[in-house]
Structure 1
Amino acid sequence: MTKRSRKTVAATAGACVLSLAVAVPASAQSTAQEDGKASVSVFHGVPGLTVDVFANGNELLPDFKPGTLTEPQPLDAGTYDIKIFPDGEGPDGDPAIQKSVDVPAGANATLAAHLDAQGNPTLTAFVNDTSEVAAGQARLTVRHVAAAPAVDVRAGGEPVVRDLTNPNEKSLEVPAGTVNADVVLAGTDTVAIGPADLDLAEGTSTVVYAWGSAEDKNLALKTQTISGMDSAPNGVDAGESGAMASDNESATAWLAWSAAGAVAVAGLLAARHLRARGD
């Protein structure tokens, strides 16, 4: 890591913000799973860009602003025609991106539009771990989706996640309770984001997104809480054969659309992002 990079991120400490947590109710997840539907959330982590998202001709996310994490939507299994327009330019115009998405039953995932380590807009699909946690425990997942170098995540001043790079994630089980956490440059005590108190309730999975841009001094945290981990969910178990294996292959194919469309998304978002930075 260069001296310039460290100075850039260190200078953002005073400008960082902590977004309010978005909780995913256990009832919403269990209902979707019992009905054989998918549960899908979308996180918008590209600063300075507002879009409208359409699915099968219907406006799904109007005026979708940076820093927004949607509540999980129970979706029927099937194929969805997704169109993304710059804010106010749809649905009769030419979409900036159009993609058919196969949504399998039982999937629990979050799609994140964010910046890569170099500051270029990109799209990443994350599968949310809804497996059971032990009594008295909680799951903590940290996702690095910021234009920033490698970081360590500390809880109570001690590193619990080391050398995390964009766009990777790290999960661990920890004792339930309130934890004071911050994000520092990897291998240093230089705070990039935080500190912030995280309420890790028993039987929940808390996902923390580190997003924004170090260069633009707008690094921030966003948290997502998924409940119901204290009992085994009715999700799709990987490694099964027959129908289960078919569902897992469908889930993989669905998540793969983000990689296939990343270049198209990046082209749109990069132009809009650079225009916003130039204003």
Structure 2
Amino acid sequence: MRRVIAASAATAALSLPLVLSTPASAADDASVVVVHGVPGLTVDVYGSADDSYSADEALLQDFEPGTVTDPVSLPGGTYNLAVFPAGGDPSGDPAIEATGVEVPAGANISVVAHLNADGDPVLTPFVNDVDPVAAGEARIVVRHTAAAPAVDILAGGEPVFTGLTNPNEDSADLPTGSVSAAVALAGTTDPVIGPADLDLAEGTSTIVYAYGSAEDDTLALAVQTIGGLHSSPSGVPSGTADLPADRTPFALTAIAVIALAAAGATGLRAKRTRA
């Protein structure tokens, strides 16, 4: 049975060697990172101006779960993309498809391909808070993107964010230093993910994603870091890391961005085939 998942508040974008619209100036480029948080779904990504995808023109191949891309500057404009299971025929039905997508210039966004609370694959964009932090402080952001009930985020074994549900987030500015973070079901202190040691450096935002499925025992963490927040409200994102998987390097012309928030954009749908 095929289920169609609609993402009414999200649109999609793709970092392409082929620009599908008139580029904005570099100062107006969006900065976008994508997090792959759908266990068991390795994908190929294609881009096109006319929804015709050629098997020998994949922009990204074998994009694996647990991967966080490096940030990429994306000119504002209109983009099409299709995401297919890795090695699949791009003339068939894509796992995720977006057409005629308007990408707003100047945005700083992280996008997660993940499971919703019911276990269906969805695309959720998060607009990153890049306001400056005070001297000697860092920002920590936690995002629930797992097929799991409400959770508490623990630091040093104590709950610091409570009752977080998919696909919501919470954040705080804290003194710099090392924090041992874990995820537990709401109201408990027995970790279901982690603990993982986080280094909260001055002037950074550390974003922690809980992804995977509690039912399938695939829960994991991914971590993204944004730097430059001690001096400018438009800090440039730094490199990223993911837990527990190793980072996968990408060629500069083959970094895919799966979704982007934009008011009034249309044409996004996500498809999942189930037995």
Shift of 1:73: 1.2
Deviations 1:110-139 (A, max 9, x none): 111111112121111111111110101101
Q: Which amino acid aligns with 2:45?
A: V
Shift of 1:76: 1.3
CA gap of 1:34–1:79, structure 2 versus 1, over 3 A, is closer
**Structure 1 position 52 matched with structure 2 position 44:** yes
Q: Which residue of 1 aligns with 2:64?
A: 65
1:152-231 matched pairs, under 5 angstroms:
152-231=152-231
Shift of 1:61: 2.4
Deviations 1:93-118 (A, max 9, x none): 45442322211221111111111112
Residue among 253, 257, 265 paired with 2:263: 253
SS class of match (1:35):
helix
1:1-279 matched pairs, under 5 angstroms:
35-56=27-48, 59-96=58-95, 97-234=97-234, 252-253=262-263, 261=268, 264-265=269-270, 267-268=271-272, 271=273, 274=274
Shift of 1:194: 1.0
CA gap of 1:34–1:232, structure 2 versus 1, over 3 A, is farther
| CA–CA distance in structure 2, aligned partners of residues 139 and 71 of structure 1 | 19
Shift of 1:232: 1.9
- The percent of aligned pairs where both chains have the same amino acid is 58
Provide the alpha-carbon RMSD of the alignment: 2.3
Contact 1:33 1:106 in 2 (8 A): no
Greater RCO, CA 8 A, separation 6+: 2
| CA–CA distance in structure 2, aligned partners of residues 33 and 130 of structure 1 | 21
- For normalisation by structure 1, the TM-score amounts to 0.73
Deviation >4 Å, runs of 4+: 90-94
| CA–CA distance in structure 2, aligned partners of residues 147 and 75 of structure 1 | 30
SS class of match (2:216):
coil
- For normalisation by structure 2, the TM-score amounts to 0.74
| CA–CA distance in structure 1, aligned partners of residues 40 and 110 of structure 2 | 21
Q: Which amino acid aligns with 1:252?
A: A
Q: Which amino acid aligns with 1:144?
A: H
| CA–CA distance in structure 2, aligned partners of residues 48 and 34 of structure 1 | 36
Structure 1 unmatched ranges of 5 or more: 1-31, 236-249
Q: Which amino acid aligns with 1:214?
A: A
Instruction: Kindly indicate which of the two structures has a greater share of residues assigned to helix.
Output: 1
CA gap of 1:34–1:175, structure 2 versus 1, over 3 A, is farther
CA gap of 1:59–1:253, structure 2 versus 1, over 3 A, is farther
| CA–CA distance in structure 2, aligned partners of residues 127 and 221 of structure 1 | 19
Structure 2 unmatched ranges of 5 or more: 1-23, 236-259
| CA–CA distance in structure 1, aligned partners of residues 81 and 212 of structure 2 | 25
Contact 2:83 2:94 in 1 (8 A): yes
Shift of 1:64: 1.1
